Structure 1
Amino acid sequence: MGVRTWIRDWPVYRQLTGPDPLGRGAAAQSGRSRSLTARTETADSTARSVCPYCAVGCGQRISVKDGEVVQIEGDPDSPISRGRLCPKGSASKSLVTSDRRQRKVLYRRPYGTDWEELDLDTAMSMIADRVLAAREQTWQDADADGRPLNRTTGISSLGGATLDNEENYLIKKLFTALGAIQIENQARI
């Protein structure tokens, strides 16, 4: 690279000799900066979602290219967040794309020291069997005076604020249908 090329590419030279004397536009851009494009411009599709971290429900736009999430940003059309996200919401792309994300069902047997992998069907069957057994063992039809109770105290639920309102509603309905009375949510505590 010659001296003349270097001077011509120098931002101060472009600022003083070009149409941008304040250096706020093209004069401040390098060749590399001009060649960059936003990840959202090259995306195949954009989906709308809700941030999974808390119960506020901030809107997100999720840009997808070739079946992979390439960008998650605030949704300016959301009446709740108006395009803004907190630091956790802004970093939610790593929740989906991190190489450290657990993608297998792991199980540690009682008194075990090692984790073993299970297929999803086996894990779901184990959970269902345990829920039904706990319900059956602790079911209360009536109190001492014969008043109907129809409840179980062997099952409880503590929901997290990472779920949205619809998921928490369905969990509440599920545990109520099972007869559980100890149902709480992190957002209320």
Structure 2
Amino acid sequence: MGVRTWLEGWPVYRQLTSHDPLGRGAAAKSRQSRNLLARTETADKVVKSVCPYCAVGCGQQVYVRDGEVTQIEGDPDSPVSRGRLCPKGSASKQLVTSSTRQTKVRYRRPYGTEWEDLDLATAMDMIADRVIETRRRTWQETDSNGRALRRTLGFASLGGATLDNEENYLMKKLYTALGAVEIENQARI
């Protein structure tokens, strides 16, 4: 390796001999860093999403390559977060790609001791059947004085802080339409 080659590898030499005397641009880059690509440059598509962790609803850009999530970053077009994410939101990729993530519906029958896997359609049908049966069984059309109630006290809803305002609004509409009285969400509490 010659002296000139060695000097060109030295950032101070590049800084003093280039058009970057403050060392904030090309002079500060090594050969290795010049060849690096951002993780987002190789994505096939970018999907807009909302952070799943709290009710703030920060916008996210999900970068996908070959059907796999490669990176999740803040969405600069989001009026809520303007491209910023909290530490949990920044770690959303781990939620999606973790090897310990549950991808099947787990069900334990009443008085059972073992979990079994169900497909989503079966689980949704079971939930719908139970809601309909509970509503039918606990429906109160009128009180003892004949005043209209049109309600059920057989089920309630407690939305979590991982739901945004729109999801909580839709849940409120659904449970009100079903006749539930106890409807709350953690974000408001």
| TM-score, normalised via structure 2 length | 0.87
Match of 2:53 in 1: 53
The answer to whether 1:161 aligns with 2:127 is: no
Equivalent pairs counted in the alignment come to 188
**Unmatched runs of 5 consecutive residues or more in structure 2:** none
Bigger mean CA deviation after superposition, 21-30 or 168-177? 21-30
1:155 alignment partner, SS class? coil
Partner of 1:128: 128
Distance 1:28 1:160 in 2: 47
Which residue of structure 2 lines up, in the alignment, with residue 44 of structure 1? 44
Q: Distance in 1 between matches of 2:12 and 2:151?
A: 77
User: What is the CA distance between 1:17 and its match in structure 2?
Assistant: 4.9
Provide the identity percentage.
73
Q: CA deviation at 1:3?
A: 6.9
With the length of structure 1 as denominator, give the TM-score of the two structures: 0.87
CA offsets 1:98-132 (integer angstroms, 9 cap, x no match) = 22211111111223332111122221222122112
Shift of 1:50: 2.0
Q: Secondary structure at the match of 2:84?
A: coil
- Code of the residue aligned with 1:87 in structure 2: it is P
The within-5 A match list for 1:32-181 is 32-181=32-181
Determine the C-alpha separation between the residues in 1 that align with 2:58 and 2:125: 35
User: Which stretch shifts more, 127-136 or 154-163?
Assistant: 127-136
Moved more, 40-49 or 135-144: 40-49
Alpha-carbon separation, structure 1, partners of 2:169 and 2:24: 51
Distance 2:8 2:76 in 1: 40
Partner SS for 1:60: strand
Amino acid at match of 2:154: G
Matched, 1:186 2:186: yes
The AA in structure 1 aligned to 2:151 is R
**C-alpha distance in 2, partners of 1:113/1:13?**
71
Output the amino acid matched with 2:171: I
Quote the offset at 1:152 in angstroms: 0.7
What CA deviation, in whole Å up to 9, does each residue of 1:158-181 have, x standing for no partner? 011222333222222221121111
